[in-house]
Amino acid sequence: MVALAVPAALVVAPGFIGPEAPAARPAAPAWQQAPATLSARQGLSPLNESAPVPVPSAVAAQLEPLLKADGGGTFTGLVQDALTGQILFDRGGSDNRIPASNMKLLTAVAALRALGPEHRFSTTVVAGPSANQVVLRGGGDVLLGAGQSDPDQVMGHAGLASLAASTVAALQEKGTTGEVTVLVDDSLFNGPALNPAWEKGDVEAGELAPLYPLAMNSARFSAGVTTGPRPQDSALTTAEAFAAQLEAAGATAGITVADGVQRVTSPAAPQASILAEEQSATVSQQVDLMLQTSDNYLAEVLGRMSAVAAGQPGSNDAATAAVRAQLGELGIPTDSMQLADVCGLALGNQVSARQFAEVVRAITSGTDTRLRAALAGFPVAGLTGTLDARYGDDSTARGAGLVRAKTGTLNSVIALSGYVVDADGRLLVFSFIGNGLAPGAAGNKEALDRAATALAACGCR
């Protein structure tokens, strides 16, 4: 019995004395343990208003050796302290120059002030003058997509497929069946569709196209194609694409679409019954896209829409007048300016580096906070937009990620206007413009990039 009792006790005993204590776990490695303290906050510190202002003579000593033209021509430039407006460098800063695409900075300011950062353009479909007619009415959105509206995008924010589907639903509600005719109303813009100040060769190369108040892909055949020929009548091209989407959407609703699209003989009345509507991305988003990609067509449309917002015609002349008026209201002297267009393609534009620096200063630190919406549009050196492939060599790498500036390039013109935070934490605005340059000379672009890099690295005391 004893021999049997001992093994039995070993089996029963754990029920009374509990399970055996588990073996101690090995200590977790340090990298798996909860931190005892939080790490220091990463990122840029807020700007310090008490940061020292660079000494002008020290800034000039940095910039003068760098701003040298490669093979002919001259550079002008101006640097200011953004907070105080103090001029830190001035080489012909008040001289009028051909600014190329730096003109888009002026247009950005005008659009944000005249229209407002959150404004959107509406593309509508209204009932036509006769039965079974619909009118596609342009409202200034030239970034329409062919497919469904995409709220996460700027290009294609409003889509023709979505507009067509809403139109079919409205027609069904009205009891419309059978064949429908599509008309297009592009009467929001008037005057010459092509600015006579533009060179014929530039238009043929696709730098610009006739201006209309509705277009797909900023008057490109595809959103992914940014060079080469463009549609020469973006209003009709867009209306034809809408008609195709309407045909597809109406197939199951007993609605067909007549061949061909015509312009309305007279604009649709403002009170015409709206069947469907799609809204664009905000003006702020469009301004950012315009600056990042230097989109000429979008710039010209934003200029015309700024004029329309002020109660003026949607024309070339009204656009330049609207830009000038908005700058004047902002307190930037415009008497010496000559504006031939609002995108910078025309050689007749004349603007000084001082005026551009003042515009950048207004955007970064002026009293009109609506202009802050343009900050995201400035290309970042070595990273985004038209500066993404620059600032990669040893002489400019220190400016990568720090310089934020709008580029400008024509055959014998190069410009760079933007802002940097210097090594002491001071916000500086600048504008450098080269005219009469040797076409294609690589050293000119490098000269501007090195100058902006020097400002970013400047303690200059």
Cα 452 to Cα 382: distance, rounded to the nearest angstrom: 13
Cα 274 to Cα 394: distance, rounded to the nearest angstrom: 59
Residue bearing tokens 């000084």: 352
Query: Where on the phi/psi map is residue 372: left (φ > 0), alpha (ψ -120 to 50), or beta?
Result: alpha
For residue 91, list its beta bridge partners.
Answer: 77
Both tokens assigned to 95: 């001289």
Handedness of CA 218, 221, 223, 225 (dihedral sign): negative
Cα 55 to Cα 174: distance, rounded to the nearest angstrom: 72
Amino acid residing at 128: G
Q: Report the candidate in 386, 387, 392, 359 with the shortest Cα–Cα distance to residue 375.
A: 359
> Any idea what the Cα angle at residue 460 is, between residues 457 and 461, rounded to 5°?
145
Both tokens assigned to 103: 């003109």
284 is catalytic: no
CA–centroid distance for 63 within its chain? 29
Both tokens assigned to 71: 């093979």
Three-state DSSP class for residue 61: helix
Distances (CA, A) of 90 to 30, 55, 67, 87, 412: 56, 13, 12, 7, 22
101 is catalytic: yes
Distances (CA, A) of 363 to 9, 15, 98, 133, 381: 87, 79, 22, 46, 18
294 is catalytic: yes
Determine which one of 234, 280, 284, 294 is catalytic.
Answer: 294
CA Rg, the chain, in Å? 30
Amino acid residing at 197: A
Cα 307 to Cα 329: distance, rounded to the nearest angstrom: 14
Residues annotated as catalytic (active site), given as ranges: 101, 104, 294
